């Protein structure tokens, strides 16, 4: 059977209309995604322009933040991180400090593709000894292994932090996705795993640098980023244990890196190293204890006026009830800006 010319024309018209509709819909969806503050990752390879345009512009960064934010532009010289500002309401003054990253560490990982020179094999049984205290506290009885087939994938992350961070009157909950960026451009995640997973089980899927990727390849740290601490000049200790004739080796924080800047959360407050026994402020005075948001206020090397900041703690020291076990607790201290992950 052959269609008549009229039927053909009708079919053609319907096809063109459908095609146009699909194109317009896709365009609208992509615009929506650009404006969205959703942090739902996507594996889309669509090339989109970034706020910073792949360059650094610290002109409108508040003076107190310049030293700290400049570190983003120098720490990762393999996968560039950019810093700039955004005047989102067009009134001529900047509203957000912006950090953009492809979320790829320059340190080694089991989770790199085997073709990447930064790929390094890892015996996950090492985590039984590295996180021995947690293993006992959490009653972990599993067999450590990699986090499935997940590998580190290039992302396009834009983090916008308020230009004048301050304590929020009503504290907001952190999401189970990017809540901040380390100085090497890698995501910080909070203290939770997506249910039904349990974070104290996921700990045993961490690579040799205390990170792992989620299902869309977003590599992240829930705890002390030990290789970043080492690469920033922090003090780490070589550790090893021999069990059943096999020697397991790892590096560990030695409790003296509390003054080391590691990155920022979305609310614009900095994240410092694990709180150790000798944690002091910039002038060497002892500091106040950590609050329920995993932070406190005092001067630091980068912020010589007293500033609020978070701390992380070495993962092998705590159980789930230790309030400074993770990068944050469930809530931000300040008002978070936004993050897009593509
Ligand atoms: Zn995770
Ligand atoms: Zn501190």
How many Cβ atoms sit within 10 Å of the Cβ of residue 237?
A: 11
Domain ranges, ordered by start, for the chain: 1-35, 63-341
10 Cα: distance to centroid of ligand 2 (angstroms): 71
Query: pTM, whole model, 2 decimals?
Result: 0.83
Residue length of the chain:
342
Report the candidate in 271, 315, 317 with the shortest Cα–Cα distance to residue 294.
271
Please report which ligand is nearest the Cα atom of 111.
1
pLDDT value for 312:
85
Contacts of 201 (CB under 8 A, 6+ apart): 138, 140, 142, 193
pLDDT value for 15:
55
225 Cα: distance to centroid of ligand 1 (angstroms): 13
> Looking only at Cα atoms, what is the longest distance across the chain?
91
Measure Cα distances from 274 to 279, 301, 328 in Å. 9, 15, 12
Strand-pairing partners, residue 271, are 263, 310
pLDDT value for 225:
94
191 Cα: distance to centroid of ligand 1 (angstroms): 9
3 Cα: distance to centroid of ligand 2 (angstroms): 77
189 Cα: distance to centroid of ligand 1 (angstroms): 7
199 Cα: distance to centroid of ligand 2 (angstroms): 25
Contacts of 229 (CB under 8 A, 6+ apart): 236, 253, 257, 260, 262, 273
Q: What is the mean pLDDT of each run of 10 residues along the chain (342 residues)?
A: 49 50 41 32 53 96 98 97 97 97 98 97 95 83 90 98 97 93 96 73 92 96 94 95 96 89 97 79 87 90 95 64 54 96 94
pLDDT value for 22:
44
Strand-pairing partners, residue 221, are 188, 211
pLDDT value for 44:
44
Please report which ligand is nearest the Cα atom of 278.
2
Burial of residue 49 (CB within 10 Å: 0-12, 13-18, 19+) is exposed
Please report which ligand is nearest the Cα atom of 150.
1
Please report which ligand is nearest the Cα atom of 291.
2
288 Cα: distance to centroid of ligand 1 (angstroms): 30
């Amino acid at each position: 059977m052959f269609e008549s010319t009229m039927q053909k024309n009708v079919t053609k018209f319907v096809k063109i209309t459908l095609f146009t509709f699909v194109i317009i819909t896709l365009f609208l969806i992509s615009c929506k995604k650009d404006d969205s503050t959703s942090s739902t990752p996507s594996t889309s390879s669509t090339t989109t322009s970034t706020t910073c345009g792949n360059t650094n512009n610290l002109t409108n960064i508040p003076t107190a933040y310049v030293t700290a934010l400049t570190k983003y532009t120098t720490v990762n010289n393999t996968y560039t991180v950019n810093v700039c500002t955004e005047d989102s309401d067009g009134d001529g003054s900047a509203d957000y400090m912006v950090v953009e990253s492809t979320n790829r560490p320059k340190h080694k990982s089991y989770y790199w593709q085997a073709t990447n020179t930064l790929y390094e094999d890892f015996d996950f049984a090492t985590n039984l000894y590295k996180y021995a205290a947690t293993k006992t506290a959490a009653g972990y009885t599993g067999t450590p292994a990699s986090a499935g087939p997940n590998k580190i994938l290039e992302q396009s992350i834009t983090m916008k932090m308020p230009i004048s961070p301050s304590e929020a009157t009503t504290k907001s909950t952190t999401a189970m996705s990017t809540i901040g960026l380390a100085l090497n451009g890698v995501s910080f995640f909070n203290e939770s795993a997506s249910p039904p997973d349990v974070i104290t089980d996921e700990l045993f899927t961490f690579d040799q640098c205390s990170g792992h990727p989620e299902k869309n390849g977003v590599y992240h740290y829930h705890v002390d980023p030990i290789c970043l601490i080492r690469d920033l000049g922090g003090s780490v200790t070589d550790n090893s244990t021999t069990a059943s004739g096999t020697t397991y080796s790892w590096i560990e924080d030695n409790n003296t890196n509390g003054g080391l800047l590691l990155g920022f959360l979305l609310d614009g407050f900095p994240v410092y190293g694990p709180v150790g026994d000798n944690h002091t402020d910039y002038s060497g005075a002892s500091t106040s204890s950590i609050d329920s948001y995993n932070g406190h206020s005092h001067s630091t090397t980068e912020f010589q006026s007293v500033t609020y900041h978070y701390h992380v703690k070495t993962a092998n020291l705590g159980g789930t009830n230790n309030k400074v076990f993770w990068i944050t607790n469930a809530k931000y201290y300040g008002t978070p800006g936004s993050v897009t992950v593509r």
